[in-house]
Amino acid sequence: MKESKSKELIEFLERLPEGRRIYLNLGSLMVEVSKDEAIEFLKKQEEKEE
């Protein structure tokens, strides 16, 4: 279920038009990242869960 959620999010990010800001929530901080960085982050999270 979690795996499919990550895939769903990756697809969502890939469809996102260029220029949209993306942030990583790190504790109480929100760090702006590129689309590729966000996708990479999700892929790594997915690997950890497996």
Partner 1 sequence: MAVKRDEKKMTDLTRQLRSIIAQIEALRVEIAQLDILISEYRQTITTLRNLKDLGAGKEVLLPVGRIAQVGAKLEDVDKIVINIGSGISVELPFDEAIQQIEKEIVAALALREALERAMVELYEKVEALSQKIREHGHAEAGEGKKDEGEQK
Q: What residues make contact with partner 1 under the rule CB under 8 A?
A: 5-6, 9, 12-13, 16, 20-26, 30, 38, 41-42, 45
Minimum CB distance to partner 1 smaller for 25 or for 50: 25
Cβ atoms of 6 and 45 within 8 Å: the answer is yes
CB 46 → partner 1: shortest distance, Å?
9
CB 21 → partner 1: shortest distance, Å?
4
Cα 25 to chain centroid distance, Å, stands at: 10
